Amino acid sequence: MTIALDKLTDPAVRAFVGALNSGDREAFSAALTADATMSDDGADRDVADWTEREIFSSGGHMDIEKQTHDGLGLVANYRNDTWGEMRTSWRFTVDGGKVSRFETGQA
């Protein structure tokens, strides 16, 4: 069972997931702070490079399975054209209504 986008409780996380799933680079960029950082499987990555490769040029999409009580943690089935589908965890730091850091990895 997946959680609908409008049921995600944190507005910044909802904007992030919505932009990711619609492939909207502009909305995705608007959901992040100017100095946003990220990590993948514990290693810090360049946000622009990673998101282009893992989301936008490879048709990335997440189906949310669970969210934490604070709305800043997700477990999702993530798929893209490069890696197929995998169960992933996501943790977000929000600052001023935008995502300032996200951490993802296999769940």
Per residue in 61-97, pLDDT (tens digit) is 999 999 999 999 999 999 999 999 999 999 999 999 9
Number of domains in the chain: 1
Domain holding 75: CATH number?
Answer: 3.10.450.50
Here the contacts of 3-8 (C-beta below 8 Å, separation 24 or greater) are 3/64, 3/65, 3/66, 3/67, 5/64, 8/64, 8/67, 8/71, 8/74
CA distance 55 to 62: 10
Q: Which amino acid is at 92?
A: F
Q: Are strands 84-95 and 43-45 parallel, antiparallel or unpaired?
A: unpaired
Identify the domain containing residue 43 by its residue range.
5-106
Spatial separation of the C-alpha atoms in residues 86 and 88, rounded to whole Å = 6
Tokens of 94: 């929000």
* Per-residue pLDDT tens digits for 23-55: 999 999 999 999 999 999 999 999 999 999 999
Is the whole model's pTM more than 0.95, yes or no?
yes
The number of C-alpha atoms within 13 Å of 99 and in the hemisphere containing its C-beta is 28
